[in-house]
Amino acid sequence: MLKKFSQLLQNTPSINILVFLFITIIPALSQTSGVPLTHWGYDAIERWEIRGFIPAAYNGSKPFSRLEMADYVAEVWKFYQEQPEQFSGTDLEQLLYLSLEFKEELEKSAEHQRPDQFDYWNPRLYYLFQKTPLKILNPYIYPNYRNMVYLQYHDFRLAADPILSYSIQQQMDETTGKYQLVRISNGLMFRGDLGKYFGFYFDLTDNHLSDERWQGTKIPFQVWEESGWPFLTTRDNGDFDFDENVAYLTFHYKYFYLVYGREFNQWGVGHTGHLLLSTNAQLYDEIKLVIQYWRFKFTHLTAFLQYISPEARINMKSQPHIDQYWSGNRLELNLGKGVQLGLSESVVYDDRSLQPGYLNPFSFFKSVEHYYGDRDNGALGVDLEWRIRNGVKWFGEWFIDDITTTKLGSDWYGNKFGWQTGIFLVNPFSLQDVDLLLEYTRIKPYVYTHSYQDYNKYKHYDTMLGHYIGPNSDQLLVCLRKRFSKFLETGLEYQMYRHGSNPEDRNVGGDPDHPWQDGDAIDAVFLDGISKEQQSYGINLRYEIFRNLLAEFYYRRMKYHQSAWEDLFSFRISFNLGYRDEGIRHIFPAVN
């Protein structure tokens, strides 16, 4: 069937017209919302970019808008028309599914689409609701072959889906050894648009966690503090509940995309985590402006954070509220010949109102920080992606918390850097549908700390805004993946993590809550302090049973510095990826 479909694409002239429409109508469309960070399309787009199907994709700032994602899909369609022999069966499956997923963004009106050519790709759930007695629900369930509920009235469109997830994870820590964590999530997500310019997105999940370590006991405060989930509701048996709500409005006109609401963002070119802005921390309110034109993409983001003082970790409501903000600007440039440059700046400031200088998308924040009295926590970032040749991409990032050029090359505590580098190979040695990723991250002591006030540290709800390994740490990842189809993939993975933790009697820069103070050593030696090391290796399997119903299996062997190897198993089944999810982690580094 897939082969026949491929031949049909090549032999049908109207498909060429359709592809042309895909490319030319995108500027005419305005309404759009974001693509959740867990969407599998991000991975497909990056692989196609590395193979040269797309000249460049702005992977350093996510989430993409649906319009941006559709633009990349249109470019891949154009490449397919020219060189279909470059596409494997898996590539074509993914391309067809993405074309259907972003159908509204890829077509101007219904007559430009030929639904008969997509019959093969109708979800199996659609056929289920064709049968008695479920047939009575057919006009309302999967009417567009993609969403559980889809409604359209003139210029108003709404697509809605449930969110369900169940996972069992075996994890380890140094104190209790192996333990089990069960998570159940349920909720609702919907998106839509009104007219040409306005879009909206809503995602609400209720989450229940059962941690084997705390059954029948009271959860220690440090677990609350490090969880990243505010307002936990605990039960007598040690279980706890929390909810999350992504919700925002968008306005899109030509090259401008404005977002107001709550969502996750990530800035950087890494894959295990991001130095400047990651999804490690809890949700936050935001105002975001994106300008995309020609060979550049510019993003301004102002986020409204929550500061948790040391005293508030015991009772958050007992402490006065302090306003905390994160502002950042990011410019991504496509320099041609497979080279992309990213320049970023950010600042954390607190205990006062929004500052106009940090709301200015054209400000240089370090200069503005000096103007405001040099009290804030500013940072800079430079990243580069280079497609050396088709199938091979090198990437690197340098995060600059503080710098004194005369001290470069020394262990001086005030030069606070983090850096990340790696190489991504797609179809290495002509192995079809295979990826090989190598990535190394290193963060020097005292990075993310701030000496002026505790409330200026690089945290939100007491959780790292940057890379989760924290200061005085490094991490190595080696990952080999094989895709057998759009629905089935497996992978082998090795991780190594090292951290220098603060001893009780001295500060070595291993805790973002403890900046350098008078009396601490001038030289901050990397990995000094109490040595913590974790290693793991294993295999994972991911299968999409039917559209957006995913089953994942993980097996790991893991050990701490002095401990024996332990076997860890994890399983997850989920319907729709609408909740926060960075995969099932088996290394949860401490940052103290």
Q: What is the mean pLDDT of residues 219-230?
A: 55
Instruction: Express each pLDDT in 232-256 by its tens digit.
Output: 677 777 788 888 899 999 999 999 9
Rounded to whole angstroms, what are the CA distances from 22 to 16, 18, 82, 353? 10, 6, 15, 45
- pTM attached to this predicted model: 0.90
pLDDT score at 406:
94
3-state SS of 352-387 is CCCCHHHHCCCCCHHHHHHHCCCCCEEEEEEEEEEE
pLDDT at 372 over 60: yes
**What pLDDT band is residue 113 in, cutting at 50, 70 and 90?**
very low
Q: What is the mean pLDDT of residues 542-561?
A: 91
**What is the DSSP track for 183-241?**
EEEEEEEEEEEETTTEEEEEEEEEEEEEEGGGTTSPPPHHHHHHH---S-EE-TTS-EE
**What pLDDT band is residue 487 in, cutting at 50, 70 and 90?**
very high
Instruction: Express each pLDDT in 255-278 by its tens digit.
Output: 999 999 999 999 999 998 999 999
DSSP 63: P
DSSP 486: S
Instruction: Express each pLDDT in 161-204 by its tens digit.
Output: 999 999 999 988 877 889 898 999 999 999 999 998 999 999 99
Output phi, psi for 530, to 5 deg.
-75, 120
The answer to whether the beta carbons of residues 528 and 570 sit under 8 Å apart is: no
Residue with tokens 């949700």: 283
**Spacing of C-alpha 88 from chain mean position:** 27
Rg (CA), the chain: 24
Q: Is the peptide bond before 63 cis (omega within 30 degrees of 0)?
A: yes
pLDDT score at 551:
94
Q: What is the mean pLDDT of residues 106-129?
A: 53
| 287 beta partners | 260, 302
Rounded to whole angstroms, what are the CA distances from 67 to 257, 292, 297, 329? 10, 11, 14, 21
pLDDT score at 321:
79
Instruction: Express each pLDDT in 416-436 by its tens digit.
Output: 999 999 999 999 999 999 999
- ∠ CA 445-382-398, rounded to 5°: 25
Output phi, psi for 466, to 5 deg.
-90, -150
pLDDT at 135 over 50: yes
Under DSSP, is residue 125 helix (H, G, I), strand (E, B) or coil? helix
pLDDT score at 136:
73
pLDDT at 26 over 60: no
The CA distance from 331 to 591, in Å, is 30
Q: Which residue has the higher pLDDT, 146 or 591?
A: 146
The answer to whether the beta carbons of residues 328 and 466 sit under 8 Å apart is: no
pLDDT score at 309:
79
